[in-house]
Structure formats: C-alpha cells, structure tokens
C-alpha cells in the first residue's frame, strides 16, 4: 500500500503541495546564495581554471607554423626530414616575417632547445634570398643547425597543441628528440630538490606547530576566563600584525649581529667570530613559518578542547587512571578532530607559503612557491608556473584524500 | 564484622579558594560504613566542594579527611579508590558502554574474563544488559545516567560519590531513578555520599542528611528527624514548607514558652534554641500541623482570614492572614468533610505548642 498516493485535504497530491509550499523558501535561498556563487565563479574558479589551462596549452606555436607541422606529421623523426617539411617551413616563416610576428615563436622554441633564437633570427634575415625549390639545402646553408636532428626533433616536439611537457619539467623530466621521457641532465635537476624541501619544511613546521600549540590550546581551554582572554589576545595578536612586518622582525632577530645571536654568544654556545647563520637558510624558514602559522594550529585545537568537559578527566582519575593514562586514553582521542584540522590547515598553508621563505629563506630555504613566483615575474614562463601550481594543488588534494581515508573528513573541526 | 561508624571522617576541614572567603568552615562529619548520606543545601553552600575534597580534586586548606582511618589528603584521586557519578554523567564519548565500564578495570590490570563478569554484573544491576556495544550518544539521558552509576560501581569501590546525578533528568525519570539508586545501595551495601539541592530527593533516598549552609553543616540527622525536628530556622525553612512568626520570648518554663509577636498577641511554643526571657526568636510551624476548627482542644487557637485558596487535587492549599502574617499556609486533605473554605471567610486555626518550635531568630 506504500505506493498509494497521499492526498492533502484539498485533493492535491501531498508531494505537490509540499513542493509548492517550499518553493518560496527555495527561491529565497537560491537568491541569497547566488551573489556569492557568482563572485566565487568570476573571481576564483574562472581565473584559476584559465591559469591551469595555460599549463597544457601549446596551441600558439602550432598556429604559427601550421604548414610545417602538417608536413612533419608524415616524418618519423629518425632521419632528417625531407624536402616538403623545409618547403612548408619556408612558407610559414615568410608569412611570419611579413607580419613581423616571428619573435613570438623564438621564445617558445628557445624553451624547447636553446640555440633556436639565433637560428630563427638569422634564417628570417636571409629569407628573401631564398630561391624556388630545394629548400632543404638552402636552409642548411643558411645555418647548419637546420641539418641537425636535435633541432629538427625539438621543432617537431612543439607540434602538439596540448602538451604536458611543463609537468614533466616540474619533476625534472623532459622529452628527448625521440619523444621519450628522460631525466634532465644532473646539474639541472633542481625541482625535485625544491619539492622535497617544500614537503620537508611543511612537515616539520606542522610538527613544531603541533608541539607548541597543544599545551597553549589546552591552557586556553582550561584557564579561568580572565587569563584565557589575555592569552587568546596573545595568540591572535600576530593575526592583527602585517605578515610582512612579522617576517621582517624575524629578520631583525635572526640576523648574524641580531639579539638571538648575541644571546647565543653570551651563553657561550658559539664564538663571537663564528656566529651561526640563522637566516637565509632553512633554519630561518622553520622559525619564522612556525611562528606565523601557530595560530592556525591553536584555534582548531582550542575550539575542540573547549567542548571537552573537564569532568571527563576527573572521571578518568576517579576511576583509577593515572593522569597520564587518563590523558592518553580519554583527553587525547577526543582532541583528534582538532589535531587533524590544525595539521591539515598548517600543512596546506605551509606547502604553498611564499613571503616568509622569500625573505628569510635565502637560496637554501626557498620553496616551490618561490620558484612559481620566479616564473610568473621574471622568466615569464606562465605555463610552467601554472603547471607547478597545478601540481601543488594535486598534492594538497591528495593529502586531503589520504586524511579522509585515515581519519574521515567528518571528524574535522575548524571551530 | 562490626561496621566502622567513622568510615569517612571530615576532621575540622576548612576550604578557601581565594584566601579571603571560607567556602567550608571547620567541617566535622562522620559517615558510617554502608551508609547513604546526602549533603543537601542551596548552591554555594559548600556541599560540592566537600565532595570534591573527598574525591581528591580539591585539597583542604586546613584539617584532614580520613577514609577507613587513613588520612587521604596526600593521596591523588586515582589512588583513592572512590567511585564517582558526575552531574553530566561524564561518560567517555569515544568509548562504547563496555569500554566505559572496562576502563577502571583495565587500569587496575584485572584479567579480561574476570573484568567481563564484573561488567556484566554491573550492567545487570542497572538493567542495561545488551547495551555493551552502544556509544553513549546513542543512549537516552536515563540510560546514560545508569551507565555512569554502573561504571562508578564496577570496580567495587569502598565509597561512591554522586554529584547531583539526577539533575539533568525530567521529573518522572528522576523519581524512578531515585528508587533505583536506593535499591542498588541497599543490595550491595556500598557507602554513598550524595550531593543534591533537591530536598525531596534527599528525603527519599538517604539514611542521614547533612544540611549545608554557609560552609557549615546545620543539622545532620535522619530524614524524619530533620523534617519533624529542625534545630534551627534555616533547616526549618529549607526543608519542606514552613510557617514562621517572629517575636520575643516573654515567658519560659520547662518545655513551653510564650512568644510575644509583633502585633502584641502571645502564642505558646516549644523552646528549642531559646533559653531566657527577652530573647528574639522565630517560631516555626509545619502547615500540616495546624488544623481548621479543631475538634480536640489545642493550646494555640487563633482567628484568621482566608486570603487565597488553591486546589491541588489531593489537598487544598489555603493562605491565611493570621496574627499579622499574611503568608500563613494550611494544607487541608481532600476528604468528604466539608469545611466552609471560601475566600474572605474568618476561620479558627489551632495547633499544639509542641509543634511550634521557637528557633533562632532569622
């Protein structure tokens, strides 16, 4: 009988009248959410999507050398290409020279293989002296690199409109001429080091923050209001100070003639002429990041600890548990949601941290985010920067996924 | 085996939190083995502080507490072997009922099969067998409360402390739990120290009640003694309903005295805490001890005017303006005899002088 339709008193099916009654509320809810949704869509989802899109978008060059790449499709890249490829290249370059846009392909080709810059420039200059037919010989005559497999192979490698070469570069891999994935030469393998260092720093900063924040949060949650408010202000004070100011003040403290070094010398841990370097290396990054990210660990822990009734610990003790056992068996398990939230937050924030490592990190303390900034601002290789950004994002999502598997995301509490 | 009448002993215990105010003043209290003693008092009277000192969560500022003859002030709570039921139950929310009960046994390293037997026995005592695998959140308030009781008893403690354990339950549940706890106490004979501010609860459950006020025990006696023969006006006012007359002792001889009220009338009373003529006093009289138009001769007989009549089902409550006190309450049992109780009527009220107790002035 469960399939029988229930009617409301005026004969309309109950479901229909319920929907009708709820419609106004639903519309109101949608209208309330809409501005925020559009805001996020326009200023967050769209630009980030656009940025990530760049990391695989390689259409520009294939649009500028269309005939060459079409001709290259039949080429197996085992030996030098035949005449039609060079003929097509001549046509494409002539067109680019007419429109004076060949400069744009130089940059792209030079990323692929250095040496293309002078090669293209020289060729374009001499393009009007080319005669009809036998383009291959004429190209090689202008510059011998046109007759080298490395360059022709590199040229072919730029052909696909979509490429994940930037991602390979992000982990120190690349395509060789045969389009096989190989490691870059040993002296250029810097990104793996950066990734490992970033993860290492994020991991230890998370651990340090946890060790420092747990007792603070516990104090905050258990002290009488009078003192806990004061302590809370101390915890929040850094939030009200500019990040830049805080980092700069660490630079003042940590420099070789700074107060901390003075103290170390005073206490006899180091000789005056052999002061330890506390800044422009990974130590500076650790110290400053731990201090700056500490509130993000304290607050979730505090909000969870605040909900734990003090009578639970008392119950544990009255039942015969030593303070240590009571803490370990009762208090600690109940704070796990806060620990999870705090660690996740601090780890994710520190894995993409930028200003602090940039200012106090120096060369040995700079992280992947600094490399991203470098490619955004200095080398202008936005595609590579966004590839690194996307890798960072995937990394964060992976951590989130692992956390969800281990602890369960429902167990998280941010306050 | 003779029972130790000083199983728990508070010996001149003082407690101050801030060094300015004494929350507990010179407390002396002996509790016998197997006894159910309730600490009753208004909030802030120091009763919970006493319980916390006994449990070991607070240290006495002065004095000593003895448990079975041993001073326990320097023993940490987890070594005292005292079970405790908390106001909000304090069940461990991340453990099942079984794990909650197993906790005190595990920390005592009791083998599993023995522990299982104890847990089963404790759960059957509170009629919660079959609930072992539930989490506390899945239980109703009453069930959580019973788990808390079972947990406090499962490790066979010498003393169980209960800190307003029924405070969060609704009225009906509270009443049935009162009987349940009373029966558990009777069946296993453990010493119980119970704290409450609910006098009905205290009267129902206890062997003896210690009425607390202002950091001191005002009276320690059995429930009937406490109700029938309060020793001072605080106890008289705190336990049950109470009619009071303020006045001055005008004559005293043996077991009766005359008290001159503010409006000039003299009444006869039982001198409890007055010694001499001229002392100020507060006379206390239970509402059910005063009768309307008494048939038997009573030595106090006065006329009053009915101000308010409230029907209560089993009895009718009548407020009378009597001898200048317009808050004089009478309780008339619901019986077939029809008294002429109408608003504004003048009636005769009589009582025996031994029921009106002349206590310390308020």
A50, A64: one domain: no
- B61-120 residues touching A, CB cutoff 8 A: 76-84, 86-88, 90-94, 103-104, 107-108
pLDDT surpassing 60 at residue B2:
no
B322, B212: one domain: no
Residue A3, pLDDT score: 57
A14, A123: one domain: no
- B133-162 residues touching A, CB cutoff 8 A: 151-152, 155, 161
B173, B31: one domain: yes
Residue-wise pLDDT tens digits, B60-107? 888 889 988 888 888 888 888 888 998 888 899 999 999 999 999 998
B211, B346: one domain: no
Residue A414, pLDDT score: 55
A294 to chain B, minimum CA–CA distance in Å? Answer: 28
**Across all residues in chain B, what is the average pLDDT?**
85
B287, B340: one domain: yes
Which one of A64-68, A131-135, B151-155 scores highest in mean pLDDT? B151-155
Residue B161, pLDDT score: 92
The band of B298, judged by pLDDT with boundaries at 50, 70 and 90, is confident
Residue A412, pLDDT score: 61
pLDDT surpassing 90 at residue A208:
yes
Q: CB–CB of B147/B134 below 8 Å?
A: no
CATH number, domain with residue B177: 3.40.50.300
Task: Report residue B7 CA to chain centroid gap.
Answer: 20
Chain B CB contacts of A413 below 8 Å: none
A50, A69: one domain: no
Please report, for residues A173, A188, A368, the alpha-carbon distance to residue A387 in angstroms, rounded to integers and kept in the order given.
13, 18, 12
- B54 found inside a domain: yes
- B3 found inside a domain: no
Chain A CB contacts of B94 below 8 Å: 333-334
Element counts in chain B: helices (H) and strands (E) = 8, 20
pLDDT surpassing 50 at residue B52:
yes
**Long-range own/partner contacts, residues B14-20 (CB < 8 A, 24 or more apart):** B14/B60, B14/B61, B14/B62, B14/B63, B15/B46, B15/B49, B15/B50, B15/B53, B15/B58, B15/B60, B15/B61, B15/B215, B16/B61
Chain B CB contacts of A319 below 8 Å: 78, 83-84, 103-104, 107, 151-152, 155
| Separation between Cα atoms, residue B354 and residue B283, nearest integer Å | 11
More confident call, B249 vs A410: B249
More confident call, B359 vs A315: A315
Q: CB–CB of B284/B271 below 8 Å?
A: no
B208, B121: one domain: yes
| CB pair distance less than 8 Å for B78 and A323 | yes
A244, A324: one domain: yes
A132, A234: one domain: no
A259 to chain B, minimum CA–CA distance in Å? Answer: 41
| Separation between Cα atoms, residue A362 and residue A271, nearest integer Å | 23
- B2 found inside a domain: no
Residue in A322, A325, A333 nearest the CB of B94: A333
How many CA within 13 A on the CB side of residue A308? Answer: 29
Q: Is A369 strand, coil or helix?
A: helix
Which one of A213-222, A361-370, B231-240 scores highest in mean pLDDT? A213-222
A349, A207: one domain: yes
| CB pair distance less than 8 Å for B90 and A330 | no
B86, B159: one domain: yes
Residue in A309, A320, A334 nearest the CB of B90: A309
Please, is B61 exposed, middle or buried when counting C-beta atoms within 10 Å of its C-beta (0-12, 13-18, 19+)?
middle
Given B188, B216, B233, the domain boundary residue is B233
Q: CB–CB of B165/B148 below 8 Å?
A: yes
- A329 found inside a domain: yes
Please, is B119 exposed, middle or buried when counting C-beta atoms within 10 Å of its C-beta (0-12, 13-18, 19+)?
buried
Q: Which of B228, B233, B261 is nearest to B352 (CA)?
A: B228
- The residues near A76 (Cβ < 8 Å, ≥ 6 apart) are none
pLDDT surpassing 60 at residue B297:
yes
Name the residue in chain B with its Cα closest to that of A315: B90
A264, A358: one domain: yes
A274, A327: one domain: yes
Residue-wise pLDDT tens digits, B191-221? 999 998 888 888 888 899 999 888 888 888 8
| Separation between Cα atoms, residue B71 and residue B80, nearest integer Å | 11
Residue B92, pLDDT score: 92
More confident call, A410 vs A352: A352
CATH number, domain with residue B294: 2.40.50.140
Residue-wise pLDDT tens digits, A143-182? 888 888 888 888 887 878 788 888 888 888 887 766 778 8
Mean pLDDT value of segment A389-411: 82
Counting the structural domains of chain A, the total is: 3
- A178 found inside a domain: no
B75, B190: one domain: yes
Q: What is the ipTM of this complex?
A: 0.78
B226, B289: one domain: no
Residue-wise pLDDT tens digits, A241-260? 888 888 888 888 888 888 88
Mean pLDDT value of segment B282-310: 82
| Separation between Cα atoms, residue B354 and residue B228, nearest integer Å | 11
Structural domain boundaries, residue B248: 241-359
List alpha helices for B206-307, DSSP H. Answer: 223-228, 233-238
Residue in B83, B94, B108 nearest the CB of A318: B83
| Separation between Cα atoms, residue B356 and residue A370, nearest integer Å | 90
Structural domain boundaries, residue A394: 191-411
A49, A73: one domain: no
Residue-wise pLDDT tens digits, A312-355? 998 998 888 888 999 999 999 999 888 988 998 899 889 888 88
Task: Report residue B295 CA to chain centroid gap.
Answer: 35
A322 to chain B, minimum CA–CA distance in Å? Answer: 6
Chain B CB contacts of A312 below 8 Å: 90, 92
| CB pair distance less than 8 Å for A311 and B155 | no
- A385 found inside a domain: yes
- A172 found inside a domain: no
| Separation between Cα atoms, residue A249 and residue A228, nearest integer Å | 26
Given B233, B253, B273, the domain boundary residue is B233
**Across all residues in chain A, what is the average pLDDT?**
85
- A176 found inside a domain: no
Residue B135, pLDDT score: 92
B80, B41: one domain: yes
Residue B336, pLDDT score: 61
- B1 found inside a domain: no
- B330 found inside a domain: yes
- B286 found inside a domain: yes
pLDDT surpassing 90 at residue A32:
yes
- A181 found inside a domain: no
CATH number, domain with residue A326: 1.10.3720.10
Residue B338, pLDDT score: 62
Q: CB–CB of A353/A373 below 8 Å?
A: no
| Separation between Cα atoms, residue A157 and residue A152, nearest integer Å | 9
B201, B256: one domain: no
Q: What is the 3-state secondary structure (H, E, C) of B249-268?
A: EEEEECCEEEEEECCCCEEE
Q: What percent of chain A has pLDDT over 70?
A: 96
B152, B253: one domain: no
B288 to chain A, minimum CA–CA distance in Å? Answer: 42
Chain A CB contacts of B155 below 8 Å: 319-320
- A85 found inside a domain: yes
Counting the structural domains of chain B, the total is: 2
pLDDT surpassing 90 at residue A206:
yes
pLDDT surpassing 60 at residue A47:
yes
A125, A6: one domain: no
- A364 found inside a domain: yes
B121 to chain A, minimum CA–CA distance in Å? Answer: 17
- B118 found inside a domain: yes
pTM for this prediction: 0.76
List alpha helices for B154-190, DSSP H. Answer: 171-188
Residue A258, pLDDT score: 86
Mutate to test the interface with A, among B76, B77, B159 (most CBs of A within 10 A): B77
Q: Chain B contact for A276, CB < 8 A? A: no
A140, A123: one domain: yes
B227, B303: one domain: no
pLDDT surpassing 90 at residue A55:
no
- B344 found inside a domain: yes
Q: Chain A contact for B195, CB < 8 A? A: no
A87, A34: one domain: no
């Amino acid at each position: 009988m469960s399939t029988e339709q229930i009617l409301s008193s005026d004969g309309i099916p109950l479901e229909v009248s319920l929907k009708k009654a709820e419609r106004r509320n639903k519309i109101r809810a949608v209208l309330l959410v809409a501005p925020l949704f559009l805001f996020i869509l326009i200023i967050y989802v769209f630009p980030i999507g656009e940025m990530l899109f760049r990391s695989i978008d390689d259409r520009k060059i294939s649009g500028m050398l269309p005939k060459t790449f079409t001709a290259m499709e039949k080429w197996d890249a085992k030996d030098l290409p035949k005449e039609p490829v060079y003929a097509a290249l001549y046509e494409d370059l002539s067109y680019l020279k007419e429109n004076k846009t060949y400069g744009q392909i130089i940059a792209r080709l030079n990323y692929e293989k250095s040496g293309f810059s002078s090669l293209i420039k020289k060729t374009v200059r001499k393009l009007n002296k080319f005669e009809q037919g036998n383009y291959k010989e004429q190209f090689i005559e202008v510059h011998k690199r046109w007759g080298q497999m490395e360059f022709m192979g590199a040229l072919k490698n730029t052909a696909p409109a979509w490429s994940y070469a930037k991602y390979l570069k992000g982990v120190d891999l690349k395509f060789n001429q045969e389009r096989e994935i190989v490691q870059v030469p040993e002296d250029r393998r810097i990104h793996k080091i950066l990734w490992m260092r970033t993860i290492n720093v994020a991991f230890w900063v998370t651990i340090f923050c946890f060790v420092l924040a747990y007792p603070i949060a516990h104090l905050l949650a258990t002290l009488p209001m009078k003192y806990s408010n004061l302590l809370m202000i101390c915890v929040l004070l850094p939030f009200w100070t500019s990040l830049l100011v805080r980092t700069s003040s660490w630079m003042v403290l940590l420099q070789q003639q700074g107060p901390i070094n003075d103290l170390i010398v005073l206490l006899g841990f180091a000789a005056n002429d052999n002061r330890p370097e506390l800044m422009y290396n990974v130590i500076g990054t650790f110290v400053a990041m731990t201090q700056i990210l500490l509130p993000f660990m304290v607050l979730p822990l505090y909000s969870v600890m605040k909900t734990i009734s003090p009578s639970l610990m008392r119950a544990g003790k009255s039942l015969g548990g030593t303070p240590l056992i009571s803490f370990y068996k009762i208090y600690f398990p109940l704070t796990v949601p806060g620990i999870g939230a705090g660690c996740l937050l601090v780890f994710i924030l520190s894995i993409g941290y930028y200003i602090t490592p940039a200012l106090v990190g120096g060369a040995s303390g700079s992280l992947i985010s600094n490399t991203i900034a470098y490619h955004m601002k200095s080398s202008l290789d936005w595609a590579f920067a966004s590839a690194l950004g996307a890798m960072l994002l995937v990394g964060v999502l992976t951590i989130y996924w692992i956390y969800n598997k281990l602890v369960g995301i429902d167990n998280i509490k941010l306050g | 085996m003779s029972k130790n009448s000083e199983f728990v002993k508070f010996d001149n215990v003082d407690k101050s939190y801030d060094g300015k105010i004494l929350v507990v003043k010179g407390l002396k209290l002996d509790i016998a083995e197997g006894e159910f003693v309730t600490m009753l008092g208004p909030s802030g009277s120091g009763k919970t502080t006493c319980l916390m000192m006994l449990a070991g969560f607070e240290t006495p500022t002065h004095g000593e507490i003895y448990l079975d003859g041993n001073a326990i002030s320097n023993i940490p709570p987890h070594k005292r072997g005292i079970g405790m039921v908390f106001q909000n139950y304090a069940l461990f929310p991340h453990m099942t009922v079984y794990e909650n009960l197993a906790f005190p046994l595990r920390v005592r390293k009791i083998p599993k099969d023995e522990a299982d037997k104890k847990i089963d026995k404790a759960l059957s005592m509170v009629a919660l067998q079959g609930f072992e695998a539930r989490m506390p959140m899945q239980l109703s308030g009453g069930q959580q409360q019973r788990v808390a009781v079972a947990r406090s008893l499962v490790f066979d403690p010498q003393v169980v402390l209960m800190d307003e354990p029924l405070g969060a339950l609704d009225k009906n549940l509270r009443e049935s739990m009162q009987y349940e706890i009373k029966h558990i106490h009777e069946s296993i004979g453990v010493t119980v120290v119970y704290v409450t501010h609910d006098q009905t609860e205290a009267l129902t459950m206890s062997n003896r009640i210690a009425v607390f006020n202002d950091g001191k025990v005002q009276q320690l006696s059995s429930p009937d003694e406490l109700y029938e023969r309060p020793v001072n006006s605080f106890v008289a006012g705190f336990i049950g309903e109470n009619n009071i007359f303020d006045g001055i002792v005008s004559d005293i001889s043996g077991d009766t005295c005359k008290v001159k009220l503010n409006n000039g009338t003299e009444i006869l009373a039982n001198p409890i805490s007055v010694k001499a003529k001229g002392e100020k006093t507060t006379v206390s009289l239970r509402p059910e001890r005063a009768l309307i138009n008494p048939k038997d001769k009573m030595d106090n007989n006065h006329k009053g005017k009915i101000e308010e009549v409230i029907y209560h089902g089993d009895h009718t409550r009548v407020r009378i303006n009597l001898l200048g006190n317009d808050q004089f309450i009478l309780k008339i049992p619901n019986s077939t005899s029809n008294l002429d109780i109408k608003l504004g009527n003048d009636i005769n009220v009589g009582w025996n002088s031994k029921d009106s107790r002349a206590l310390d002035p308020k």
